[in-house]
Structure 1
Amino acid sequence: MGEDLFWAIRGGGGSSFGVITAWKVKLVPVPPIVTTFNIPKTLGQGATNIFLKWQKIASMLPGELFLDMAIGIDNSSPSAGKTIRVSFGGLYLGTVDNLVSMMQNSFAELGLQRENCTEMSWIQSVLSFAGFSIDDPLEVLLQRNGTSGRFKAKSDYVKEPIPVTGVEGLWKILLESSAVLILTPYGGRMSEISGSETPFPHRKGNIYGIQYLVYWDSNEDSQKSMDQVRRLYAYMGPYVSKNPRAAYLNYKDLDLGVNIGNTTYEEAKAWGLKYFKHNFERLARVKARVDPGNIFRDQQSIPPLFP
């Protein structure tokens, strides 16, 4: 297919270039035993300070450990009232003994104990993170049932830890909404790959990514819910990447701009530079060679850029 086209479809949104009928994936080795855990912390349990520490160390933890965060509202205690809950979820490529020792040395503030952890095979961890029981048959992973849920997602990248004043302001906005945040640490293998090796450019220099999510059940709630997540996104502007304010392609955010018919390259920069940064121009030139008529397009597809 040519080196440029192969490069483009490995992270550039293959639907902009044609129909992909086959794909070959290179596997990587995993140990026979992995360990997972999930530890929730509320504001009363020191969630703010633990969050501040996580920002500084999550991207620098050993490559065998992935430790993300999910942030939302906790209404579980009527006497305590509504508060923030920060859930720290981890996957460690190894046994529980090694994990507990590592966490005591690098992130003792979280208070991880053996009883918080579960050892399993790697494929069982896939079941667990997908919301199934680790005892379920693996065939459930082949199910692709649709969902009627409605949601709005936005994204950001963070390069410097957010100060405590920014975090406390975030809590105030979250307490007035139904939105949730998922924070994914970078570093590790992500930082070892060049930002131009594939179209995905968000590599070295990012300490974590943020997904903002809000769900609703009825059409009457849609505008209120979308306003909530947009308010969160506006508040976070001073604390995230700039020039451009980067975004993650797989969390399609039509607020960034929409392709109306045959949008020009200059117009498409509104979202293209956020998703692809310096790789956007190369993607558009590949598009001009393989689909000059712009047959394959969608709401945020890559337009052709001719010489």
Structure 2
Amino acid sequence: METEFPELGLQRHECFEMTWIESFLFHNFFRNGESLDVLLNRKSNLHLTSFKTKSDFVTEPIPDDVVERMLGRLYEEQVGRAWFELYPYGGKMSNISESKIAFPHRAGNLYMILYYVEWDQERENITESERHVRWVRRLYNYMTPYIAKNPRATYLNFRDLDIGVNDNNNNIERASIWGNKYFKNNFKRLVRVKTKFDPTNFFTYEQSIPPLHSY
């Protein structure tokens, strides 16, 4: 980090090495060094929050002034907790074909951005919750000129219902709106797989892939 990103001024004592399961405790505000046995307690006092996420893939460097304004928007978000996460791509990710598996975001992507805002469930009302959601939507709109286009791709595991949801008819044309963003050219292949193995659309949710004929 000192060699590649000296401008961060990161110190060794600010870094913590931990396993994945230990990171779960860390992100849920347990004390450092807390026993993993606490996860077996169903009445454990986990930090309960509501949250809204959106994501983008970046194919060209974002200008420095845009990054500064993007970071400045974090100060607009009051009461809630907001941040960005950048997931670097390249390397092995770029060596795998877009069509190899369902996940298509491969060569050409510099990194993925997660926009995240969360707030306390028990302390805020609907009006305040809507304010947090509007904030992340405005940020997402602001970033439009600087991210991947045609389609404006997004990551399935950061599910975003703003880009569309299934109606009762499970229309394929409608589903392609978000299907192409999540899966790009793999969406049509996934429709064929869905049609073969789940023709009655038993397994369904707001943004599931519909079969060619739903009953």
TM-score interval (norm. to shorter):
0.7 to 0.9
What's the secondary structure of 1:157's corresponding residue?
A: strand
Q: How does 1:10-89 map to 2 (within 5 A)?
A: none
In structure 2, the residue matched to 1:254 is 161
Q: Residues 165 and 195 of structure 1: is their aligned pair in 2 closer, same or farther, counting only changes over 3 Å?
A: same
Q: Residue 3 of structure 2: SS of its match in structure 1?
A: helix
The 2-side partners of 1:127 and 1:147 are apart by 10
2:191 and 2:61 map into 1 onto residues whose CA distance is 34
Say if 1:245 and 1:274, in contact at 8 Å, map to a contact too. Answer: yes
Change (3 A) 1:249 1:112: same
Correspondence for 1:7: none
In structure 2, the residue matched to 1:301 is 208
Q: Which amino acid aligns with 1:135?
A: G
Gaps of 5+ in 1: 1-102
* Aligned counterpart, 1:68: none
Give the equivalent residue in structure 1 for 2:66.
166
Does the CA contact (< 8 Å) of 1:262 and 1:303 recur in 2?
no
Displacement, 1:173? 3.1
| Aligned-pair CA distance for 1:172 | 4.0
Alpha-carbon offset, residue 139 of structure 1: 3.1
Query: Following the alignment from structure 1 to structure 2, what is the Cα–Cα distance between the partners of residues 215 and 199?
Result: 29
Question: CA separation of 1:147/1:166 partners in 2, compared to 1, >3 Å: closer, same or farther?
Answer: same
The number of aligned residues is 204
| Displacement after TM superposition at 1:115 (Å) | 3.2
What's the TM-score once normalised by structure 1's chain length?
0.59
> Can you list the C-alpha shifts for 1:227-255, whole angstroms capped at 9, x where unaligned?
11110000000111100001111111111
Find the partner of 1:287 among 164, 186, 194. 194
Query: Larger C-alpha radius of gyration, 1 or 2?
Result: 1
1:150 aligns with 2:50: yes
Aligned to 1:135: 33
- Cα deviation code 1:277-302 (max 9, x no counterpart): 11111110000111111122111000
**Between the two proteins, what is the percent identity of the paired residues?**
52
Shift of 1:108: 2.4
TM-superposed CA distance for 1:271, in Å, is 0.4
**1: distance between equivalents of 2:71 and 2:33?**
37
Larger proportion of strand: 1
Query: Which residue of structure 2 lines up, in the alignment, with residue 228 of structure 1?
Result: 135
CA separation of 1:269 and 1:162: change in aligned 2, threshold 3 A: same
The root-mean-square deviation of aligned C-alpha atoms, in Å, is 2.6
Q: CA 1:141/1:203 → structure 2, altered by over 3 Å: closer, same or farther? A: farther
Q: In the alignment, what sits opposite 1:269?
A: 176
User: Cα–Cα, structure 1 residues 193 and 131, in superposed 2: closer, same or farther, change >3 Å?
Assistant: farther
Looking at structure 2, the residues matched to 305 and 264 of structure 1 have their Cα atoms a distance apart, in angstroms, of: 9
1:95 match: none
2:29/2:47 contact within 8 Å kept: no
Amino acid in the other structure paired with 1:191: S
Following the alignment from structure 2 to structure 1, what is the Cα–Cα distance between the partners of residues 53 and 12?
A: 35
Which residue, 85, 88, 113 being the options, matches 1:185?
88
Tell me the CA shift for residue 130 of structure 1. Answer: 5.7
